[in-house]
Amino acid sequence: MNFKRFVPAAPVLRAGAAIVLTATLVACSSPSKPKPAELPANVALLGVRQAWNVKVPAVSFGLQTNVSGDTVTVAGADGTVVAIDARTGAESWRASAGAPLSAGVGSDGSIAAVVTNRNELVALQGGKVLWKQQLTAETFTAPLVAGRRVFVQTADRTTSAFDGQSGRRLWVQQRSAENLVLKKPGVLIAVGDTLVTGIGGRLVGINPANGSSRWESPIAAPRGTNDVERLVDLTGSVSRVGDSVCARAYYATVGCVDTARGALVWSKPAVSAEGVGGDDRLLFGTESDGNLTAWRRADGERAWQTDRLKYRELTAPLAAGRSVIFGDSSGLLHFVSREDGAPLNRLSVDGSAIAAAPVLAANTVVVVTRNGGVFGYRPE
C-alpha cells in the first residue's frame, strides 16, 4: 500500500461543519428487522483450521483491520493497539493510545496510527506513543500510513498529511462541509504515487506531496429532495487490482475507477452500507437484505447472486483462494465459492458479531469480533 514512486523530502464537529449521521439510519426506518435466513447443515467442503488467537478489549467502533506484510494491526475501543505476526499469532507489541478510539488502524508495518474520540491523531511505534496531533473534527476513517507520512480525513472533508516521525503537519486540503456525513469508515488508500480518497460519492486522486487534486471521478451522484436522501458517501473496504479501484456508495451504487486516468469505468445500482472485495475478474459485495452479489470487474455485469444468507447482517467480503469470506452479526464466518456463491464451510468464532471485514495476511484469514477476539484461520 506504500506510495511506490513518492519519497517525501472531543468535541463534536466545529460550528458550520457537517452533522454526523449514524450508519443505522436506514435500518432504523423499518419497524422491525426481518428474520435471518435459516442455515442448512454445514457442508464443510473446504477444510479450515484455527491457527491462533489473540485477545484485545471489546471493539465497539468502526474498526479497519490493517495488514502490512506479515503484520496485522488491530485495536480495541478503549485505545489498545496490538501488532500481531500473522504467521504465528505472536504479539509484536501492544500499546495504548491514551483514550477511546473513533477510527483505526492504519500502519505501514512500522508506524501505526489511530484517532481517539478526543479528535486526536495518535502515532505509535514499537509499543510506544510516537506523537499526537489535534484534528479539526471527528474522524471515522482509519489513517493511512504510507511514504513515511500519515494521512487522515476528518468528517468535515478535510484531508491532511503529517510527517510520520515528527507529527509535523505538512499540508491540508479543505473542502466544503456537507450537511450530513456518514458515521462509518470511508476510503483512504495509496495507489502508485497517488493518494486516493472518497469525498461524497466521488473518488478523488490527490498529490501526496502537496495535497493538490489530480482528478475526481463520481461513483454516485446525490439524488432526492432532502439531505438524508442525497447522502452517497463512499463507505467501507475497497477492492484494488493495479490501477483499478472499486468502491461502494452508501445505499446507492458500486463502481470501478481507472485511477491512472481518473475515469469511471462503470457504476451499477446497489443497496448496502458495507464495502466490497474482489480479484482481477470479479467484484463481490452484500446487499442490505443479505443477498451476496458478484459483478464482473471489467464491465459491472452481474456474474451471480445468492440469497442463502439473507438478512444475516454480513460484513464486507474477503476474496481468498477459491473462497469469498464474510462474517455475520451472530458471530459466524462464512466461506462460499467465488464461482457461484455456493457454501463451502462456516465456523462459529466466539459467539459475538464479527467486527470488521476479514483480512488476509501470511496465508491466514484474520477475523476480529466485537468481544475482542482476534482469530487466525488457515483454509486447507
pLDDT at 340 over 70: yes
**Segment among 11-15, 18-22, 99-103 with least mean pLDDT:** 11-15
Instruction: Report the relative pairing of strands 180-183 and 19-22 from DSSP bridges.
Output: parallel
Confidence check: pLDDT of 173 > 90: yes
Residue from 286, 379, 362, 360 nearest 65 by CA: 360
**In a domain? residue 101:** yes
357 CB neighbour count, 10 Å cutoff:
25
CA distance 33 to 2: 41
What mean pLDDT comes out for the span 166-186?
Answer: 89
Residue 115 lies in a domain: yes
Question: What's the chain's average pLDDT?
Answer: 91
SS3 per residue for 130-186? EEEEECCCCCCCCCEEECCEEEEECCCCCEEEEECCCCCEEEEECCCCCCEEEECCC
What are the residue ranges of helices labelled H in the chain? 25-28
CB 171 within 8 A of CB 187: no
Please indicate, yes or no, if residue 9 is contained in any of the structural domains: no
Residue 74 and residue 377: Cα distance in Å, rounded? 16
pLDDT at 6: 41
pLDDT at residue 371 tops 50: yes
Return the C-alpha cell found at 371.
Answer: 468481544
Is 143 within the bounds of a domain? Answer: yes
Q: Is residue 146 part of a domain?
A: yes
Q: Average pLDDT for residues 319-344, to the nearest whole number?
A: 96
Q: Find cell 462460499 and name the residue.
A: 336
pLDDT of residue 23: 44
**C-alpha grid cell, residue 218:** 463520481
pLDDT surpasses 60 at 16: no
Taking the CA of residue 80 as centre, how many other CA atoms within 13 Å lie in the half-sphere pointing to its CB?
Answer: 16
pLDDT surpassing 90 at residue 76:
yes
Across 206-231, average pLDDT: 92
Rounded to 5 degrees, φ, ψ at 28 are: -75, -10
For residue 380, what pLDDT is reported?
Answer: 84
Residue 182 banded pLDDT, cuts 50, 70, 90: confident
Per-residue model confidence (pLDDT) at position 181:
82
> Which structural domain, as residue segments, surrounds residue 155?
56-164
Average pLDDT of span 121-127: 97
Within-domain flag for 359: no
Inform me whether the pLDDT recorded for 18 exceeds 50.
no
Residues 6 or more apart whose CB falls under 8 angstroms from that of 125 comprise: 110, 111, 112
pLDDT at 3: 52
| Cβ-based neighbour number of residue 146 at 10 Å | 24
Based on the structure, what is the number of domains in the chain?
Answer: 1
Number of residues in the chain = 380
pLDDT of residue 21: 52
Q: CA 54, 57, 62: angle at the middle one, nearest 5?
A: 100
CA distances from 206 to 68, 188, 215, 254 (A): 22, 11, 7, 21
25, part of any domain: no
pTM: 0.91
Is residue 278 a part of any domain in this protein? no
Cα separation, 330 vs 350, whole angstroms? 9
Mean pLDDT of 287-297: 93
**Model confidence at 70: pLDDT above 80:** yes
pLDDT category at 229 given cuts 50, 70, 90 is confident
Cα–Cα separations (whole angstroms), residue 358 to 22, 141, 215, 320, 325 = 23, 17, 31, 10, 7
Please give the average per-residue pLDDT across 93-97, as a whole number. 98
Which domain CATH number covers 119?
Answer: 2.40.128.630
